[in-house]
Amino acid sequence: MTLYLDDLRVRHLGECRYDSPLSEMLTTKQTSPHYVAEGDRVLLEDTVSMLAGHDVPPEQVPSFEAAGPRKKIYFDPSSVTAGILTCGGLCPGLNNVIRGLVQELAVHYKVKRILGFRNGLRGLTSEHRDDTVELTPEHVRDIHNAGGTILGSSRGNQDPDEMVDSLVEHGVDVLFVIGGDGGMRAATCLSNAIEARGLDIAVIGVPKTIDNDLPFTDQSFGFQSAFASAMDFISSVSVEAAASPNGVGLVKLMGRHSGFIAAYAALAANGADIVLIPEIPFALDGPEGLLAYVEQHVRKKGYVVIVLAEGAGQDLLEDADLSHRNGKATDASGNVKLGKIDDLLKERITDHLTAVGLAPTMRYIDPSYAIRSVVANAYDSVYCLRLAHAAAHAAMAGRTEVAVARWRRRFVHVPLSLMTSRRNQVDPDGDLWMSVLETTCQPAEFGVQREGEKVPSGFC
């Protein structure tokens, strides 16, 4: 799906008439490797071949609006009421973003009233709209030292009109929605409902995805903290498996549709023998299948360590008609509930190894809540802070229906709808996955051939 410049344009609420309280700091700034000037834009693509594909003048090449403070802003800060909410699953850094927003708005823009809505979009329902908390710099000073979110979170959609009513009732001018694809979709709906009622409320999305599966974002905030924590659990099962006769270490990591956490954690830990991700189908049976490889590994090395993204191998559950595992229901956010691939693997591996006389010691762990709840690491702390600053600037400049993101190390504005238009996934032909294969020495595929391809047979 090709994107054109027009696809990347951002909605403005209107002309910027107010001097920014920050304008004094902005006078000398111009585009450099460390800054993009107000009028400049950031290229979407970054290779010669991609550039050559667009036979247009530079200013027509697909590009994003640069994020950052503007000299003139849309809202009069002294009369602005801001709202903040967090929705979806936990992710390291949520409190850092909340804190960064509050500090930037209150200290630098002198915004006097900042409201936190409780438990995600639920906090905008009529039932809960009065649970709001007032947020001040003093209140949020140390919240980044704890994981989770002080505002609470939840899944699930709410009626857009009811939510707009809440915003109106509280006099909210700018709303920050920190959430995943469910949250970004809801923010888009909300923004449409606001527009339909002709209201002057900016809706800014701060994309949150521990799986790193949202597009137009280098790495989503919290991702590095998450895979660092995941790495430790790979080490745990490696230690357990290595110390047990025919040990099988199995760790299930987050990754519904994208195996980034599994891939990165496996590269960082380097104790993983097999990485299974949603992007790469695998077969269990047959001479090239996973079970045969597991067996071979246990025979040779004495044990095996498997890193499993939760969304991997979902087709196997269907094939096996394992109706109790093959979830077709959806959760409150509308996500299809995943079948339990971990249960299938434990069963099949145990059966297989037992059958060949290698009765295994199974060491399984599902550390998801322990990973999601960690405090943001140093890198993510800085990232969240700067992302929050960018979001505050976007709102004050009257952008709306827009997400702030980091694109090839520049902060940019991305139209909200684009954030849910595609998924960021591990490219089976990309260099990340190739490094995983080189490091684990697992075969490129387990008995499942992509068309016209020859499967290498374990190349270490």
By CB under 8 A, the residues from 147 to 176 that bind its own copies are: 147-149, 152-154
Q: Does 113 show up as a binding residue in the annotation?
A: no
* Residue 239 sits in the site that holds its own copies (CB under 8 A): yes
Query: DSSP strand E in 167-318: where?
Result: 174-179, 202-207, 247-253, 274-276, 303-309
Give 336's strand partners: 330
Kindly tell me which residue out of 69, 182, 313, 447 binds its own copies, with binding defined by CB under 8 A: 69
Kindly tell me which residue out of 83, 367, 415, 447 binds its own copies, with binding defined by CB under 8 A: 367
Q: Taking the complex as a whole, how short is the minimal distance between the CB of residue 201 and its own copies, in angstroms?
A: 25
- Does residue 86 contact residue 186 with C-beta atoms inside 8 Å? no
* Residue 273 sits in the site that holds its own copies (CB under 8 A): no
Residue whose CB is less far from its own copies, 165 or 366: 366
Place of tokens 């702030």: 404
Longest dimension (CA), the chain: 77
Of the residues 76, 159, 200, 211, only one is catalytic, namely 211
Where in 84-123 is the site for its own copies (CB under 8 A)?
90, 103-104, 107-108, 119, 122
Spacing of C-alpha 51 from chain mean position: 27
* Residue 363 sits in the site that holds its own copies (CB under 8 A): yes
For its own copies, what does the binding mask look like between residues 39 and 68, x meaning CB under 8 A? xxxxx--xxxxxxx----xxx-x-x--x-x
Q: Does 310 show up as a binding residue in the annotation?
A: yes
What are the backbone dihedrals phi and psi of residue 227, each rounded to the nearest 5 degrees, phi first? -75, -25
Residue whose CB is less far from its own copies, 316 or 342: 342
Q: Taking the complex as a whole, how short is the minimal distance between the CB of residue 247 and its own copies, in angstroms?
A: 9
Where in 318-347 is the site for its own copies (CB under 8 A)?
none
- Does residue 218 contact residue 412 with C-beta atoms inside 8 Å? no
Residue whose CB is less far from its own copies, 50 or 355: 50
- Does residue 293 contact residue 448 with C-beta atoms inside 8 Å? no
Spacing of C-alpha 170 from chain mean position: 30
Where in 10-29 is the site for its own copies (CB under 8 A)?
21, 24-25, 27-29
Place of tokens 């209150």: 106
* Residue 33 sits in the site that holds its own copies (CB under 8 A): yes
- Computed over its alpha carbons, how large is the radius of gyration of the chain? 24
**166/172 Cα distance (integer angstroms):** 9
Q: Taking the complex as a whole, how short is the minimal distance between the CB of residue 380 and its own copies, in angstroms?
A: 9
**159/273 Cα distance (integer angstroms):** 47
Determine how many CB atoms are found less than 10 A away from the CB of residue 76.
11
Closest CA to 439 of 305, 319, 332: 305
* Residue 227 sits in the site that holds its own copies (CB under 8 A): yes
Kindly tell me which residue out of 1, 32, 134, 321 binds its own copies, with binding defined by CB under 8 A: 32
What are the backbone dihedrals phi and psi of residue 402, each rounded to the nearest 5 degrees, phi first? -135, 145
* Residue 77 sits in the site that holds its own copies (CB under 8 A): no
Cα distance from N-terminal residue to C-terminal residue, the chain:
37
User: Which range, of 170-178, 192-200, 232-240, 316-324, touches its own copies by CB under 8 A?
Assistant: 232-240
**440/304 Cα distance (integer angstroms):** 11
Determine how many CB atoms are found less than 10 A away from the CB of residue 224.
21
Q: Does 458 show up as a binding residue in the annotation?
A: no
Spacing of C-alpha 233 from chain mean position: 20
Kindly tell me which residue out of 189, 199, 336, 365 binds its own copies, with binding defined by CB under 8 A: 365
Residue whose CB is less far from its own copies, 147 or 339: 147
Q: Taking the complex as a whole, how short is the minimal distance between the CB of residue 21 and its own copies, in angstroms?
A: 8
Judged by CB under 8 A, the number of residues near its own copies is 113
Place of tokens 């979902």: 314
For its own copies, what does the binding mask look like between residues 400 and 439, x meaning CB under 8 A? --------xxxx--------------xx-xxxx-xx-xxx
Tokens of 86: 């967090």
Closest CA to 331 of 82, 452, 154, 67: 154
- Per the annotation, the verdict on 159 as an active-site residue is no
Q: Taking the complex as a whole, how short is the minimal distance between the CB of residue 306 and its own copies, in angstroms?
A: 14
Burial of 181 (0-12, 13-18, 19+ CB in 10 A): buried
Q: Taking the complex as a whole, how short is the minimal distance between the CB of residue 99 and its own copies, in angstroms?
A: 9
Write out the binding residues for substrate: 209-211, 254-256, 310, 369-372
Write out the binding residues for ATP: 89, 155-156, 180-183
Which residues form the catalytic set?
211
Write out the binding residues: 89, 155-156, 180-183, 209-211, 254-256, 310, 369-372
